[in-house]
Structure 1
């Protein structure tokens, strides 16, 4: 046992000797521990043993296994603090570290006389002025105050255009403001992570967001807004960041002769309409606007932190998503699945066929979408067994962060169709599926497997539709291996999801994880009974999901797990759905029902357009029995909006449409290749293309997606309806007057270009306002709990029915 005492003789801490055995350089680790206990930087601490300072490279053994040490707290040295400022000014990192070790005071203030005035400088602001992240990090670790102020730059420069001019008049700025002045996102991000106050203003009332807006720095604007910067904060007599941005937008549009055609509106509404017109109809102008402030405005209503959510049981038994305020939440989304290398949408600029970038997120928001089911593909995460691709995972999480800044959640999906490239599909990494020379018997004669990595060639795969390959014995046997933990594969599946969730820790906007896409029944040749609709769910998926869930709960106990049954376990037809459901409990057990969602698809076949309501009703009954949520995670095309979405929405069901774009690109070279994965996305099992059909934006398709719906309800959903021909939307819900957050209805401008009119019944039951493609309604406190409200939304100019 080692005791560490102060000079007064008090024991500061004790350390077990076993933790010190064999450790070299343990003094640094011990000093960091003492730093946390004492609230002092390590530079001021000195460890002593037997009256001598302990060398950094010492081990406990080299010191003779002492049972006691002393800790000294050194005072700051004035001369070292002066050397520190010189080293910072010269960007001498080693000199900074040496000065801090003396120790120099990282918060020492220095005087500067210019134009007859004496002003104060601080080391951290100066380090930000020279844009040295390494020096800034060293100063903060040494105890520098991240919210200090320094009389560093002329106020006129900040209030006007933020250019660095001759110093004639000084104003105090913070390190964060200086980082933004230098256009350094990395510096600003680091300071915000170390608790810099994003809304501190300079001595002349200038905020960091004001500076970023003036400098047209979109990256800093997004970062600051994401950190909670107030867009309406300003000095007396100065414009707010929002007003600055709006003024620049108007100036830009006047230069292009477009402003006169826009209706008068508030600053935010005016700018939003400009953005919508330019981005949707004048795409060629977007590059010319790259340096304009309009980009700030499309972010302003979107970057507020996404509400944290959970599942709450309705009175009827199933669960709905709710936020911290208690509002029920609903989602309209789209899929983004890349079915081959690189296993993730392209991120290097917008591409109408392969990307998922800011322009895509803006377009999704214009249609009112707030969710993406994103393929987080197992081959991308774990290309070799036990070896995880951190680069791939960072691309995934960076994408999720950017989506969140636009108010869009992510549902991570382990997508598979046909399970493996070995079976002309995708899903599992190659290491998880042994090569089988009999494939595709009995569907056809064995393929020679002369493609890359011994896979079937493209020509061979095209001999049958992908779903037919699930009837091959090899494919069924591979599903069986996954479900029954052969070669420890079920545990590997769980470990994959645990790794994904660990990568998402601290990142907002992850709605949940979808365990697998469209699981097949297993091996029906070995057990024909698996083809009975409920049997595979009960005998194969339930046990496998329980194993996977244990890994997930160890990584993130609160993760929301989406779990699908086989695609034909429910069809809506009475002669298939009379059987009880196969699942007996949520993945992991009944106790996890409050964190579980039954996910399912609608395609005809196996479902039927003649039994749409019966299908959804049966799904709701199943969710009530299990006590879980439910979610339509895939359906497609125009017929979905005509026959399926109206029924789902009337029952309070969220949906995700297939698919945002193709996420597949063929070239002349790849067309000639026999390699399955020659083309980006390696489409073998079908790709989407809504609304980017073959790389061309189809506005009709985009308008289909832009259906009005309640994103949040301050109460309990009863019903909703939308008539595309008249554009009439009706929402009925039971109000909860204790919820002070508003009910929010998405009313996309694509559907309501002239705006909307709203009628609330009973009259006066709530206050409403229109804001940037949303109707917000706040319940009056006088409402009775459970009182039924009816909200009607119509296109402006249409008659409202009372």
Structure 2
């Protein structure tokens, strides 16, 4: 479910961040001109899981803010929709530094064991375009409702094992996954790795397609990770999962993650693997999958405001102004943190939004900051999405085939999302947040390394996204424990740690 647009039957059931130390160190510095230019940095290299954090090759903590871009109609490629260099520039100009970039299994493997490298080359071209603007790509194997037969997208037609059950009733997204026996059977057979064409398990085919894809992208600059399978569904076990009795289904999902991880590692030994829980966790149910069984892995989780959607009668608008997300929404972050503590996996909120309700968007962005978790908004565009109820409502840019300017941009929504935030931290974040009323950013971090192996020394660089849309007349920075080295009013603020600093605090306000 990449766009949570219509409340589901299950949703109705469920929906019941110190001055004294600085004086000692002598490290208080106002914003000054420095050596670093005010341009977007290179995409961070070597993204890895370091406990609950994502880190770059230097060990700095990565806090990303980004968007989703998934082409769900043939030929399943963003460039076919017009997504290109101007869109990447638009994202970078507004402080976005990652894109969860969808690929579709049906396009990768149109026939069993036959892979379309021309399709993968198109996706790679988009990765390279984004990387030129300092934007990382999370390669997302996307699906919703499995296949077009069920009013969705994802699996190749030949991989649909529905036991020849009629695909009825066709009630659209997301109702079909609760009410359509053929779809539930397809998910059951996929999770069970039932033999398909050539007597090969359909899940084995999926893992092999992932291995081929990972081999194609191995070493490509700008790839931050692989999202193994978007919003898996427990098939006919979903009623038991709603009641918290989901062990068998979770075990099958864990087997899927392990099988895909092993296949990927035959071709790419390093890129971070992102695994997802069943999409029932989007509304607050505990995510209880096992991990991908890999040393370099992270939980990809989603958060949608179900009660707010119910209150408005449309998930596209997801509530009236001033509404907050459902009572289970805060549990989404708490559950993710608990999962990370139990498994050591990193965390990334890879979907939320799909709405024009800016109060809902602000609440989740601000909650992510409180929880020190990066995020990726759904979605960059509506783009004829077959699994949404509000194509325009979910979009930042209405039509990527046109320039991202003027009326083609939802500017108010962009400002709600394009908040200043730390991007790469030479240390461990303790707290950060943006006060929307005063346009004040506060950041505090320890210079201790996230992996626990000592601290960052003097001269270590931290970068902070400072979108001009929030600071049109510029900004002023006061920092303790470091000095500003970027040019005045740079869209990417850079600070350099001072000798002996154990903690850095930063406050940015409008000029």
TM-score calculated relative to the size of structure 1: 0.52
- CA deviation after TM superposition for structure 1 residue 435, in Å: 6.3
Residues 394 and 425 (structure 1 numbering): CA distance in 2 closer, same or farther, change over 3 Å? Answer: same
Residue 95 of structure 2 is matched in structure 1 by 368
Measured in 2, the distance between the counterparts of 1:739 and 1:522 equals 54
CA distances 1:437-468 after superposition (whole Å, capped 9, x unpaired): 54344xx4xxxxxxxxxxxxxxxx5xx23211
CA RMSD of aligned residues (A): 2.5
Residue 582 of structure 1 is matched in structure 2 by 288
Residue 410 of structure 2 is matched in structure 1 by 698
Aligned partner (choices 371, 392, 398) of residue 651 of structure 1: 371
Contact 1:326 1:739 in 2 (8 A): no
- CA deviation after TM superposition for structure 1 residue 322, in Å: 1.5
Residue 144 of structure 2 is matched in structure 1 by 417
Residues 646 and 793 (structure 1 numbering): CA distance in 2 closer, same or farther, change over 3 Å? Answer: same
Aligned partner (choices 169, 182, 187) of residue 479 of structure 1: 187
Residue 20 of structure 2 is matched in structure 1 by none
Aligned partner (choices 424, 445, 462) of residue 743 of structure 1: 462
2:79 is aligned with 1:346: yes
Q: How does 1:74-113 map to 2 (within 5 A)?
A: none
Farther-moved stretch of structure 1 (692-701 vs 357-366): 692-701
Measured in 1, the distance between the counterparts of 2:361 and 2:388 equals 26
Farther-moved stretch of structure 1 (697-706 vs 393-402): 697-706
Aligned length: 436
Contact 1:521 1:536 in 2 (8 A): no
Measured in 2, the distance between the counterparts of 1:766 and 1:543 equals 47
Residues 694 and 725 (structure 1 numbering): CA distance in 2 closer, same or farther, change over 3 Å? Answer: farther
Aligned partner (choices 496, 505, 510) of residue 790 of structure 1: 505
Aligned partner (choices 657, 661, 667) of residue 381 of structure 2: 661
- CA deviation after TM superposition for structure 1 residue 645, in Å: 1.1
Bigger helix share: 1
CA distances 1:617-656 after superposition (whole Å, capped 9, x unpaired): 2210111101111111000132343211111111110000
Measured in 2, the distance between the counterparts of 1:547 and 1:659 equals 29
Measured in 1, the distance between the counterparts of 2:446 and 2:359 equals 31
Measured in 2, the distance between the counterparts of 1:368 and 1:536 equals 42
CA distances 1:30-70 after superposition (whole Å, capped 9, x unpaired): xxxxxxxxxxxxxxxxxxxxxxxxxxxxxxxxxxxxxxxxx
Residues 759 and 684 (structure 1 numbering): CA distance in 2 closer, same or farther, change over 3 Å? Answer: closer
Computing the radius of gyration from Cα coordinates, the structure with the larger value is 1
Measured in 1, the distance between the counterparts of 2:75 and 2:507 equals 46
2:301 is aligned with 1:600: yes
Aligned partner (choices 228, 250, 254) of residue 515 of structure 1: 228
2:450 is aligned with 1:731: no
Measured in 2, the distance between the counterparts of 1:739 and 1:363 equals 34
CA distances 1:213-244 after superposition (whole Å, capped 9, x unpaired): xxxxxxxxxxxxxxxxxxxxxxxxxxxxxxxx
Contact 1:497 1:551 in 2 (8 A): yes
2:458 is aligned with 1:760: no
Secondary structure in 2 matching 1:759: strand
Measured in 1, the distance between the counterparts of 2:166 and 2:439 equals 52
Aligned partner (choices 12, 32, 45) of residue 307 of structure 1: 45
Measured in 1, the distance between the counterparts of 2:335 and 2:35 equals 48
Secondary structure in 2 matching 1:610: coil
Secondary structure in 2 matching 1:717: strand
Residue 485 of structure 2 is matched in structure 1 by 769
- CA deviation after TM superposition for structure 1 residue 742, in Å: 1.0
Secondary structure in 2 matching 1:569: helix
- CA deviation after TM superposition for structure 1 residue 516, in Å: 1.2
Measured in 2, the distance between the counterparts of 1:556 and 1:523 equals 34
Residues 549 and 266 (structure 1 numbering): CA distance in 2 closer, same or farther, change over 3 Å? Answer: closer
Contact 2:48 2:296 in 1 (8 A): yes
Residue 498 of structure 1 is matched in structure 2 by 211
Residues 536 and 706 (structure 1 numbering): CA distance in 2 closer, same or farther, change over 3 Å? Answer: farther
Tell me, which stretches of 5 or more residues in structure 1 are unaligned? 1-264, 273-300, 314-318, 348-353, 445-460, 665-680, 797-802
Aligned partner (choices 328, 341, 363) of residue 624 of structure 1: 341
Q: How does 1:194-213 map to 2 (within 5 A)?
A: none
Residue 3 of structure 2 is matched in structure 1 by none
Secondary structure in 2 matching 1:770: coil
Secondary structure in 2 matching 1:426: coil
Q: Which structure has more RCO (C-alpha within 8 Å, separation ≥ 6)?
A: 2
2:157 is aligned with 1:430: yes
2:202 is aligned with 1:489: yes
Contact 2:47 2:55 in 1 (8 A): yes
Measured in 1, the distance between the counterparts of 2:363 and 2:129 equals 33
Tell me, which stretches of 5 or more residues in structure 2 are unaligned? 1-32, 196-200, 309-324, 401-407, 448-454
Measured in 1, the distance between the counterparts of 2:266 and 2:256 equals 16
Measured in 1, the distance between the counterparts of 2:492 and 2:236 equals 49
Contact 1:536 1:566 in 2 (8 A): no
Residue 326 of structure 2 is matched in structure 1 by 609
